[in-house]
Amino acid sequence: MSSVAKVICATILLAALLASRPGFCQQIDLSIADIHSPSFSAKSIEAGLRGDDLSRLELRIGELTLQGKTLHNVVLTCDQFQLETTAIRCAEGVLDVGQKWPIRFAYEMQAQKLELVVQPEKGESWKLAGEFKREPFALEVVISHGKLQRIAALLPEAAPKISAGEIDGRLMLGDGSGHLKLAGDVQLRGVAFSDAAGLHAGEKIEAAIQLTAEQYSDGWRWKTGVDWLAGEVFWQPLYFSAGHRLTAAGKVTGRSIEITSSQLTLAKIGEIDMTASWDRDAHSLNVARARTDQVNLDELYAQVLKPLLGQTALADLRIEGRAGFDLRFADGAIQALTLALQDVSLEDKQRRFAIFDLDANVPWQRSAPTRADIRIGGGEVFRLPLGAAQVSLEMNGLSFAIPKAEIPILDGKLALSDFRAEKIGEEWRWQFGAGLTPVSMEKLTQDLGLPRMLGSFSGVIPAVRYRNSTLSADGALLFKIFDGTIVAKNLMMFDPLGSTPRLAADVDMRNLDLDLLTRAFSFGNITGRIDVSLSKLELADWRPVLFDASIASSPGNYPKKISQTAVQNISALGGAGAAAALQRSFLRFFEQFGYSRIGLSCVLRNSVCEMGGIEPARQGYVIVEGGGIPAITVLGYNRRVAWQELLDRLKRITQENVKPVIRD
């Protein structure tokens, strides 16, 4: 019998006991300490009949508990209470549960039929009709324009609070061939809910719910269907709008709730079949399985995955393609996941990376070694095109390995070696090594949208490791460019998979060919070699925030010439007015000049560059020291330059005619 039926029957029992007292009494009182059942209890029960004809009923319950929720000081009064030999009736009563609601009820003794109607507001009705003589009894609840706030008190304390909404529907409990049967058909309209933290909320929700259940010796077997027709829900971090449907069937026993079959239809995404078993005593999931042959990844990403990836590098993607999966859960963890990807392409909207035409079959198992076959049609890294590749991923539980793989990059190849990843405790760790065969600088700069450069680019990457959200290199990274070498040491990248990674390193560039370098950037021509040092380098979201940088001529004997255009552009780095009147001297007739040394430094702190050169000068610092015939010396004047201003100068140095300072 339901909790509501138990309350009603208890009330009828009390009334019947009171009615059995002699008729000449003007007051009858009855007190019961408590009534208990598994889902219902009442304490401090007091009932009384008042008046000359005993026509006023007063029923007080000090503490009423239904499904774990407790109400205090529940009072039922009826001024037109009728006691007859065949029936008990209350035509105009009031139920006080913190709010006062009009109520009427009638109970026929012989047939044991009950009808109870609560009408809190005009047009709103909660009706209970029951027949208790036969076993099992028949009970029906009919709701018309019921306010959902009235049952909000029955929800768990931690649940979001219902602030609006109506319910219409019918619930029936009765006999079905020796079994109890339950059937319900309910419609919800205008539902709104939220919690105090704002992490869970819903508005204008409309839904249709159907439920049938039948009791057997081992428990209840049930079926349900839920159609979400309108409205929207935010459940941190996910947001959903209407259009989804769930059908499910299962059983409830004393120990578990089982979903033996179900299908979740997500609008524009696809259909997912699910089964599960929930331990009622332990409040935990025993086993579960979810599978689908095909879902649309663009909508799955937009509706489900993107909010979950909000603080990672995958937070803003364009994605298309199809996926199927079969996921199995047991013993508190995922035990197996088979993933099939078909014609998948994804691209970071910030153009940092992209993968095209990805096909993969990933049969992962927690307790057995397996292998995944992955084919990539192409891709990009910072607009650098990658060619097609095939990769075999070896899997053994939470350990993953790629012994070797080659990915074409322009006319070269990136050779990946000994990639390994594993989860230790709650932390993921991985490592790899790589080498880059020579890539044409002309092709590289063309694809990156940079000025045309000559020569080639190659490199060796030692073992790179990822631990504690930090990427580090065991040794130095070596690259060859502009006929010189670049060595990166002490490399560390913090939160590399996050939305704002940070990088720290010390970088040394040695013996770079100035002729190749300056021609690439339309800087004017300089022949010679330079060394560049970048120590204490720190980048935040790939923007410099701190470094000590210096440029100096490389040791050795080699031709050292600088063009008039290069002189003007170097002079501009020292600030407006940093150069003297080249055009007003005889030197204007020369296209090239000799020099003995070049040097420039910048110490970046708090977005300001402390500038320096080869050596101090009376009014500034020396950037180019003259040498040979004709010779020229270039001075810089500004010691402190805002970093953004320095970048702006670099952008416009080829567009302005800044005249250098000349010292013979």
169-208 confidence digits (pLDDT tens): 999 988 756 678 899 999 999 999 999 888 999 999 999 9
Contact status, residue 638 vs residue 588, Cβ threshold 8 Å: no
In this predicted model, which residue has the larger pLDDT, 81 or 585? Answer: 81
Least confident piece of the model among 58-67, 215-224, 270-279: 58-67
**Residue 585 confidence (pLDDT) above 60:** no
642 pLDDT more than 50: yes
Comparing 134 with 61, the larger pLDDT belongs to 61
Distance separating alpha carbons of residues 53 and 156, to the nearest angstrom = 44
Peptide bond into 630 cis (omega under 30): yes
Residue percentage of the chain with pLDDT more than 90: 39
More confident residue, 78 or 327: 327
What would the DSSP string read from start to end of 516-557? HHHHHTTS--EESEEEEEEEEEEEETTEEEEEEEEEEEPSS-
For 65-79, 238-252, 259-273, 463-477, which range has the lowest pLDDT when averaged over its residues?
65-79
**Mean pLDDT value of segment 365-375:** 95
- C-alpha–C-alpha distance, residues 156 and 69, integer Å: 8
Over range 501-520, report the average pLDDT.
Answer: 86
Peptide bond into 237 cis (omega under 30): yes
Three-state DSSP at 43 gives strand
Provide the 8-state DSSP code for 631. Answer: B
Residue 4's pLDDT band (cuts 50, 70, 90): very low
Q: What is the pLDDT of residues 307-348, one digit of tens each?
A: 888 777 788 899 999 999 999 999 999 999 999 999 999 999
Q: Which of 374, 423, 416 is nearest to 400 (CA)?
A: 423
pLDDT at position 452 is 66
pLDDT of residue 583: 39
pLDDT computed for residue 11 by the predictor = 55
Return the pLDDT at 37. 62
Regarding beta strands 56-66 and 245-252, do their DSSP bridges make them parallel or antiparallel, or are they unpaired?
Answer: unpaired
pLDDT at residue 442, rounded to an integer: 76
Structure tokens at 153: 């008190």
Q: Would you say 461 and 477 are in contact if contact means Cβ atoms under 8 Å apart?
A: yes
pLDDT of residue 46: 84
State the chain's mean pLDDT as an integer. 83
CA end-to-end span of the chain, whole Å?
A: 110
List pLDDT tens digits, range 202-245. Answer: 999 999 999 999 988 889 999 999 999 999 999 988 899 999 99
List, in sequence order, the alpha helices (H) in 244-331: 297-300, 306-308
Would the CA dihedral through 295, 301, 303, 309 be positive or negative? positive
Mean pLDDT to the nearest integer, 14-26: 50
Structure tokens, 646: 């320095």
Q: Which residue has the higher pLDDT, 582 or 62?
A: 62
Q: Which amino acid, one-letter code, is at 338?
A: T
CA distance 620 to 618: 6
